[in-house]
Amino acid sequence: VTTVGVLGGGQLGRMLALAAAPLGIDVVVVEPGLDPPAAVAAEVIQAPYGDASALAVLAQRCDVVTVELEGVPIEALAWLEDRVPVRPSVAAVAAAQDRLAEKELFAAAGIPTAPWAPGRVTFEGGTIVKARRGGYDGRSQEQAGPGHDLAALLPGLDGGEVISEGVVEFERELSIIAARGVHGETACYPLVENHHTRGILVRTLAPAPGCSAALQAAAEGIAGHFLDATGYIGVVAVELFQTGDDLLANEVAPRVHNSGHWTIEGAVTSQFEQHLRAITGLPLGATNPVGVSAMVNLIGEGVAGAVEVLAVPGAHLHRYGKAPRPGRKVGHVTVVANDDEELAARLAVVERVLS
C-alpha cells in the first residue's frame, strides 16, 4: 500500500483523501485543528504542522509527503525532504509562501506579471500593497488610488514585510491547473474563469468561455515555465489576469486549488486524483472536460438551500464538515451540463436557490 502524508487536513486534504481511496492509497494528515474535514477519509495526527514527533511519524510511515496549504513551516518540510520525497519540492512551496520570492521567480522564469516592487512603492493608476506572507482570500492586502499615500496601508507591517503592485485593469480573471509527474511529463486542464466577491472566489466557469487555442497555449506556457523553473512534481494552480490576448500571472498555489474543484465531476480526471498520480509516480490522467461546468462556493454562515440544489440536474453538492463562520468556505456546488445554454439555465436555478 502506498501511503501519502499531507500537511494540512482542511477541505483540500479531505478531497485528496477521498480521491486516494479508489487508488488504494492511504492518507495520513497532520492538522492542529480538532476533527478536521479530512478525517472522513484520512488518518489524522492532531499536531502543529511543525511538530517534531508528528513529522517523524510521517517520515517513517509515508512513501511521499505533500501539502494542502502553502503556509507550512519551511524548516519542517526541509526536515522531511531529507528523509522522504516531498512533492512539490520545498523550494516550490517556499517560493509560493513569499510574494516577493514568487515575483522574483516569475521574473527569472520569464513569466509576465503586474508591475511590482518590494516595499511600499506608488504605481501610476493605483497601487495594491500586499503582505509578503500569510494572505489568502484577499486578506492582508489594501489598495490606494492614484495620488494616495501608501503609508496608511497595512499599518502593522514594515516595508520589508510587504510588496506593492500596480493595479491591473484586467478584463477577467482566469486560472490554469497543471500537473507534472516524476518523469517530467505534464498535463494541463483547460483555462477557467474565476469570479471574486470581496477577494473571495465565488464562482468558476469551466472551461472559461471564449478562450482561443492561442490563449490556452499562452497559459500552458506560463505554467510550463513555472514547472520547469522549480522542477515541480504534483498539481499547481496559476492565477492569471486576462487583457485581450495578454495574460499576466498573479500568483501560484503549489497544491490543488479551489478553481479546480469542478474537475471532480467536470473532467475525466479530478485535480485531486491527478495530484496523487503525479506525486506517487503513476501515469497522469486525461484532463479533458466532460461537458461544461460551473462551480459555486458555499461561503459563510448558512448553507441554506444547499440540499435543494440537488434537485437540479447535473448539480453536485460538496460539504466540508466545517463550522459555518462569516467569509469561510464551507462547501461548494458543481453543476455540469452538455452545453453553455443548459449550464446557464441550471446555474441560474442553483444560484437562486442558494441566495
Which residues of this protein are in contact with ligand ATP, per CB under 6 A?
Answer: 114, 128, 135-139, 165, 167-168, 173, 196, 199, 201, 239, 250-251
Contact pattern for Mg ion over residues 239 through 278, marking x by CB under 5 A: x---------------------------------------
Q: Which is nearer to Mg ion, 67 or 306 (CB)?
A: 67
Q: Which is nearer to ligand ATP, 254 or 285 (CB)?
A: 254
Contact pattern for Mg ion over residues 225 through 244, marking x by CB under 5 A: --------------x-----
Q: How far is CA 147 from the centre of its chain?
A: 34
Closest separation between CB of residue 210 and ligand ATP, Å?
19
**Residue 109 site contact among ligand ATP, Mg ion, none (CB < 5 to 8 Å, cut-off depends on kind):** none
Q: Which is nearer to ligand ATP, 261 or 277 (CB)?
A: 261
Element at 310 (helix H, strand E): none
Q: Which is nearer to ligand ATP, 241 or 272 (CB)?
A: 241
**Neighbouring C-alpha atoms within 13 Å toward the C-beta of 75:** 4
**Residue 114 site contact among Mg ion, ligand ATP, none (CB < 5 to 8 Å, cut-off depends on kind):** ligand ATP
Summary count for the chain: helices (H), strands (E): 9, 17
Closest separation between CB of residue 127 and ligand ATP, Å?
9
Closest separation between CB of residue 218 and Mg ion, Å?
19
CA–CA gap between residue 335 and residue 344 (Å, rounded)? 10
Closest separation between CB of residue 311 and ligand ATP, Å?
30
Strand 43-45 versus strand 64-67 pairing type: unpaired
Residues 93, 254 contacting (CB under 8 angstroms): yes
In degrees, to the nearest 5, what angle opens at C-alpha 71 toward C-alphas 21 and 20?
5
**Residue 138 site contact among Mg ion, ligand ATP, none (CB < 5 to 8 Å, cut-off depends on kind):** ligand ATP
Q: Which is nearer to ligand ATP, 173 or 273 (CB)?
A: 173
**Count of other CB atoms within 10 angstroms of residue 226:** 25
Q: Which is nearer to ligand ATP, 168 or 176 (CB)?
A: 168
Return the bridge partners of 27, or none: 4
Closest separation between CB of residue 55 and ligand ATP, Å?
26
Residues 65, 5 contacting (CB under 8 angstroms): yes
Q: How far is CA 226 from the centre of its chain?
A: 15
The footprint of Mg ion on this chain (CB under 5 A) covers a number of residues equal to: 1
- Residue in 281, 270, 282 with CA at minimum distance from that of residue 318: 270
CA–CA gap between residue 117 and residue 252 (Å, rounded)? 18
Q: Which is nearer to ligand ATP, 57 or 202 (CB)?
A: 202
Q: Which is nearer to Mg ion, 175 or 270 (CB)?
A: 175
Residues 219, 188 contacting (CB under 8 angstroms): yes
Closest separation between CB of residue 135 and ligand ATP, Å?
4
Q: What secondary structure letter does DSSP report for 152?
A: T
Q: Return the residue matching grid coordinates 514568487.
A: 102
Closest separation between CB of residue 251 and Mg ion, Å?
5
Phi-psi region of 234 (alpha: psi -120 to 50; beta: other; left: phi over 0): left
User: By the criterion CB under 5 A, which residues form the site for Mg ion?
Assistant: 239
